[in-house]
Amino acid sequence: MMRKQPAKQPKETLTVTERIFSYNRDRPEDIQALKYKLLCDNPVRFLRGTCHLFYEDWSLDFSSPKPPITWVCGDLHLENFGSFQGNNGLVYFDINDFDEAYLAPCTVDLVRLITSIILSGRWLKVGANDVKKLCRTFLEVYAATLAEGKAGYLEQNTTTNMLKTDMVKKLLLRMKKGQRKDFLARRTILKNKKRRFILDGIHYTPVTDEERSTIHSFIEAFRATQHNPDVYTVMDVAHRLAGTGSLGLSRYAVLIGTKSSPDNHFVLDVKKMTPSALQFSPPALANKPWQSIRQPQWLNEAHRVVEVQKRMQMMPPPLLNAVEIQGVPFIIRELQPTAGKVNLEEWGGDITRLRAYIVTIARVTAWAQLRSSGRQGSAIADELIEFAEHSQRWFGTLLDYAETYSKNAIHDFQEFKASYSVLQRKPKR
């Protein structure tokens, strides 16, 4: 694998700010403003919310050893792992976001992940040498796990050998105590003896009458496909605000009344799906290593996301489905009280805690690629094992590229923050 630095954009191309505005142009103006404000928080949030820039700028060539083609998350970073309840009732820790899922070289996810380690390390005030060690630890553990050739999994009952201070173990134990009743109490309120969402402008905002009617009609049709269709009753509908990259896409929370639930209610997340960021690239930069890979013909973008998620996760969450609402692709899933993420700030200056987290997500990443191997063009396990056995030939290349790109990301963040600040001060006509 030959080293090649990220290419600088020609002067005639769009600025970083213009590229971000162009990518988000179809989203509601008020949500655009919220997203842009979040992008100005710090370089880590900026990286999370501008996945398209990462792939538009990609300039790393792969030669020898050539990485195997795998199913990738596409947006792998430190915060795209978390806990959730699988449809078998167990609470797992796994990759939990597949909006950008694609068939690509396995190293695509690795580069994005170690870039996020570098940026997060600076944000968390981790020493530069420790950050480098964490990046190398991730690659070493990933390669060693891949070389084993067997996909494992992590759930509450498999954390016995973890230290009590391990952040993933603490998350899973905390989620084990999560109750739907408490979850509903935080997000809903009883009004005239009927439960409704709390429209706080942070998690939920109002929908129009037309949207409410559309969602009602969709749920009526959807529940007819379920094993027990009589228990579904729509109690309320709201816009759901969540995430960074997907913020502004049509997304609804649907409060369902049901006699089969322990608390007589549960919440559905209904989220619009758009093409993966790996699919977009300016014509002048159309030499990406995944663009010659033949992608499957999915029914729609929601079908792509759901199918890859089912392949890469050990056990998908309940009610995960790809659907269409008035011809537009959406995914639906249940919002769970057991869903959560590790708070990286809990590392508390103890580098062993961060290292333990890096070790865990490295294993989870390798397991996901092994689990989804041999499917519609993805490499078989033997190819992944062989690649892992030659890891020392590609470690340095990935580390160098991620280090250089992290500097570019910081520059882009600073440029966007300054530009957006100026635009905010201009009087509106």
Tell me if the pTM is above 0.75. Answer: yes
Tell whether the model's pLDDT for residue 429 goes beyond 70: no
Return the sign of the alpha-carbon dihedral for residues 146, 149, 151, 157: negative
- The lowest-confidence range among 58-67, 239-248, 372-381 is 58-67
For residue 228, what pLDDT band results from cuts at 50, 70 and 90? low
Question: CB count, 10 Å around CB of 348?
Answer: 9
Check: CB of residue 1 under 8 Å from CB of residue 289: no
Q: What is the mean pLDDT of the chain?
A: 88
**CA 403 to CA 214: how far, in whole Å?**
47
**CA 121 to CA 107: how far, in whole Å?**
21
Buried b vs exposed e over 214-245: b needs ≥16 C-beta within 10 Å? bbeebbeebbeeeeeeeebebbbbbbbbebbb
313 DSSP assignment: S
Tell whether the model's pLDDT for residue 231 goes beyond 60: yes
The residue-averaged pLDDT of 242-247 equals 87
- CB proximity list for 106: less than 8 A, separation 6 or greater: 67, 68, 69, 70, 72, 369, 379, 384, 387
The predicted structure's pLDDT at residue 262: 53
17-35, pLDDT tens digit by residue?
A: 999 999 999 888 888 999 9
Map out the domains of the chain as residue ranges: 16-180+339-425
Tell whether the model's pLDDT for residue 257 goes beyond 60: yes
